Structures are given as C-alpha cells and as structure tokens.
Amino acid sequence: MINQENILEISNITKIFSDEHGTKRKVLEGISFTVPVSSPKITSIIAPFGAGKSTLFKIIAGIETATKGEVILKKEKYLQPNGKIVLIPERSSTLPWLNVRKNIELLYRLETCRKNNGSHDINELIALVGLSGYENHYPYNSSFGFRFRISLARALLLNPIVLLLDDCFRKMDVATREEIYNLLEFVSKKVDTHFLLATTNIIEAIRLSGRILLMSKAPGRIYKEIYVTDEHITDYNDSRFNKYRQSIEKAFSEEKQLGSINFSI
C-alpha cells in the first residue's frame, strides 16, 4: 500500500470524565482515524445521540483535553487552538445585536486571525456564503440557516486546514437544510479546507460526504469506514443512495446502535 501523507491524524483518543464523587465514565475509547491529503473534501462521522461526538470534536479542536491519545495536524501535535482547526458547534455563535459584517469582523480582534488570514477578505467570504446584500442585516436566534452562513464565513476567515461541523443542520427545516447542503458542497470546492462533519443523520452524511466513519456509543469508538464513490446524490430515492443507506443501517444494526440514528430527510 502506498503511504499517503495525512492532513489530520487522530490517534487512540480516549476520554474519561470524573464527577465530584469520583465516579468515572469513559465517553470515548481508542478512537483513531486519518484524513489523507487525497481524502474527499467532506468526511462525515455518523454517531448515535450521546456517543460523544461533541467531546471528540472539542478534543480535535484543542478545546478539550483527551485522557489519552493525540491529535496530529500536518505531522505536528495540535495541543491548543490556533485557528488551523476550527469548530462550528451545533448552535451557531452569532451575536444578534451585531449585523452580518460586524459578526464576521469580530475575528479581526484575534491574533490567530491576523496570523492565519491571507487569501480571503470579508467581502469575498460574504459573497461565498451567499450573504451579499445582507451585510447590514441582523441574525435572529430562529434563523438557523442564516446564522450558519455567518459562522461559516467567520470560520473561513481564519483559513483553517480543517473545519469541524458538529451536527449544525439538525434544527433546520428541510428546505433550509437543502440550501445549506448545496452551499457546503459549493464552498468545499472553492477553499483549501477539509471539512469534518459529525451527524446523527444517515441521509445527511450520504448526501454530503465522500467518506463516512461510523461511531458507536458507550463508549464512543470508530468501528467502520464507508466510501461514497458516486457523485453527490441529491435524489434520496435513487437506488445508489439506498445502497449506501442499507449498508450503514446494517452496520449499526450489527452493533445494536440502530435505535438512536436519524433516518429522516
């Protein structure tokens, strides 16, 4: 096998939480996977509710410390946040009292932004995420798609090597999700950033990803990898789409994890 250079290496990540009574709970156990240079631009991790995907993403982003294991970004240990790995959480962190432009401009106050920024300016990013003409509009808490577009532009301002999306589309309605799926596909082709998506939704993962990792719970671990070799399939009744769906359903059923996976569009 040809030895491929990896953008990201997740090596044996284990996380144990202890409460005030000294009771220990293992949330993640021995999670290992790589994102090679040749990997599809969007990789998904499908995980049941409560599997620890948010904890895993916080560890990868350098926000949380692993009990064991390490994160390697381009052959160097990633120990603390520096803008090269960016996390967009499930609830997009926009400030409702600031308009679109000022929400994005907030990052200019960070030293990491000044160090990493180089190929994008705010006007380019606003256009890239489809917000041209909305620069002076204000985000509302219920506008999940609008807020995500702002968060995406702000994250890309850092020129991240890897962008983590933690179940960001779960609260969007069907029409908004489809718009954002199309946006993410478009943006991924325009930027030199790899996207890692955590989701509980099988359909979402197949729709967006070229590569899917399956994660079980109690404790969380990666146990299977599936490549989506067809181009992005937008027809959910397509026989190719159903082939991948059935394969994933079977894998989760064998792990007795099927009940906490989302199948809805």
Percentage of the chain modeled with pLDDT above 70: 89
Domain that holds residue 200: 6-246
State the pLDDT at residue 1.
Answer: 37
Whether 256 maps to a domain, the answer reads no
Number of domains in the chain: 1
Q: Can you say how many angstroms the Cα of residue 242 is from the centroid of all Cα atoms in its chain?
A: 23
DSSP states along the chain:
---PPEEEEEEEEEEEEE-TT--EEEEEEEEEEEEETTS-SEEEEE--TTSSHHHHHHHHTTSS--SEEEEEETTEE--S--SSEEEE-SS----TTS-HHHHHHGGGGSHHHHHH--S--HHHHHHHTT-TT-TT----TT-HHHHHHHHHHHHHTT--SEEEEESTTTTS-HHHHHHHHHHHHHHHHHSS-EEEEEESBHHHHHHH-SEEEEEETTTBEEEEEEE--SPPP--TT-HHHHHHHHHHHHHHHHTT-GGG-B---
Q: Which CATH number is 21's domain given?
A: 3.40.50.300
Domain for residue 264, yes or no?
Answer: no
Q: What is the pLDDT of residue 143?
A: 86
Which residue has tokens 């190719």? 240
Asked if residue 261 is part of any domain, the answer here is no
The verdict on residue 131 lying in a domain is yes
Asked, for residue 77, whether it belongs to a domain, the answer is: yes
Q: Are 6 and 161 in contact (CB under 8 A)?
A: no
Answer whether residue 265 is part of any domain: no
Residue 243: per-residue pLDDT: 92
**Mean pLDDT of all residues in 140-153:** 89
Whole-number pLDDT of residue 23: 85
Does 69 reside within a domain?
Answer: yes
The residue among 19 and 260 whose pLDDT is bigger is 19
Residue 153, domain member (yes or no):
yes
pLDDT of residue 112: 57
Query: Mean of the pLDDT values across residues 2-9?
Result: 80
Confidence band for 27, pLDDT divided at 50, 70 and 90: very high
* pTM of the complete model: 0.91
pLDDT tens column, 29-81:
999 999 999 989 999 999 998 899 999 999 999 999 999 999 999 999 998 88
